[in-house]
A and B are shown apart, each in its own frame.
Chain A
Amino acid sequence: MKRTAKSLEEMLGPIPERIKREADLSFQISDRIYDLMQERGLSKKQFADALGKRPCEVTKWLSGQHNFTISTLAMLSAFFGKSIISV
């Protein structure tokens, strides 16, 4: 199997620290929401219906790439009765 001459990190080049942290936080939040959905046995459609949202909104939340507002995080935390992030 041939390998590229450069490693993935060399290819990508430096990524600004704030964007790395943003991506890490967003993935952690989406993984947390996914785990809580699994705990409750909720499909994407059931979850969206329960919150009065469209399934495409849930797709964004679970993508690891969504920029969550405090309002959305509070709503999700209230729905599950558990914290989504801790400060």
Chain B
Amino acid sequence: MSEVELFLIKDGENCTIYTLQFLRDMESEFEKFIAKFRDDAEYSEDYARIAAFVTRIARTGALERYFRNEGKMSDSVVAIPVTSSKLRLYCLRLSDKILVLGNGGVKKTRRYEDDPILNGYVMTLQKFEELLRREVANGNVNITESTIETDNIFEL
């Protein structure tokens, strides 16, 4: 079992942005993604584009058309960018106004499922969403139009 907490990064007018952090870690999942690629010789430009997209999305909202559908039909896992880069940032798009940023990496296989590391990032988000929805149904977590209200620790 891994314990994870939800952290608020930015509460904007059109989008509230969160990330996840494992209790065993010093950095959030999104910060781990940044640390890997911000100064990477090969991918720093692709990283900068993703950073610009995230900044823009924080201002305008997490509209469905800005994301690549990943995960399964039954979950809310998406990725950016939509265009040709091999670098992927996986996210949970719960609505136009709620986005949870996860980890990501370079997609070298046709399907993310064929890469155990990328598959792990997607599965973390899938499991978190499943637990979040269960807690909402149980009345332990409240999701409003633009916020997730919880201080819970989730056991993935």
Contacts and interface: CB of A to CB of B under 8 A. Distances in A.
Given A4-B9, A22-B52, A65-B81, A11 B34 contact: yes
B48 A16 contact: yes
B30 interface: yes
B134 interface: no
Chain B, interface residues (CB within 8 Å), range: 35 or more
Do most interface residues of chain B lie in helix, strand or loop, or is the interface mixed?
mixed
Contacts, number: 90
Given A4-B9, A23-B49, A11 B30 contact: yes
Nearest to A24: B56
Interface stretch (B58-66, B90-98, B103-111, B117-125): B58-66
Given A8-B9, A13-B34, A60-B83, A1 B150 contact: yes
B36 interface: no
Contacts of A63: 65-68, 81-83
Interface residues of A, number: 29
Contacts of A67: 83
Nearest to B151: A1
Nearest to A63: B82
Interface of A: 1-4, 6-9, 11-13, 15-16, 19-20, 22-24, 27, 30, 34, 59-60, 62-67
Interface of B: 5-10, 17, 19, 28, 30-31, 34, 38, 45, 48-49, 51-56, 58, 60, 65-68, 80-83, 149-151
